[in-house]
Structure 1
């Protein structure tokens, strides 16, 4: 009986470890965005999987300067956005949609830069064992664009 219990415990631990490792092979989760120009943390973004389509929304803005707050107010609004996002709060906003897995990358969708209000095509790829996410925003060809590296959050 002791051996069966030990085996069950060991199997449970291995299954839990495997699940944790598998979670790092997908962009689903919480990420700290890092500005590619300043190197500063900008926000916490949550990526979710909705029937095979990845979407992301901003959970929290970080490191807002006094100038940003004076210009935008305590609640940052997407002033340069078009359509339904115009003048809406950035926190809680859906900034990425339509992204699907394609081999070892996720692409085919769009990403919004709330600062400029511009929408770009997006390509995601995992780095450093799933602890970092390369986010490439581009117009036209993926080699014409900008990349940010986001850091996985607990």
Structure 2
């Protein structure tokens, strides 16, 4: 995992322009390279002011960017953060996101001293929920019609893992 750069423009566009990949993601599907360029520009600005903890997920063999994972929210007053991720559909089911999410959770608890890490998914996003279960998160419930995304109110499933749960499973 690493920071995203403008060298990743075409790789990132290949998955952010996929309707299947962005189906359960709050941001709109990128229509063209300019949409992706603007997003990378935003990321680079956020990196400079230390406002974004987002990593690109790359293939080890080729360095090709195939997804991203981030702490989409970070609340220092409560020592909690929320992870979010996106992965090219060409790599779904390969365990790549599970591996990346485990590393981000480890970083959150060990380096940032978080108490809670959470994640939200569309109720229909079974693939993402499988990842969250594999990384030790617990389903907490469904927030009914809690977000207006993509023109409709969405039911959102909430998952979390606490630092003490993480420590128990890694000892």
| Higher-RCO chain (CA-CA 8 Å, sequence separation at least 6) | 1
TM-score, normalization by structure 2: 0.26
More helix by share: 2
TM-score, normalised with respect to structure 1: 0.28
Greater gyration radius: 1
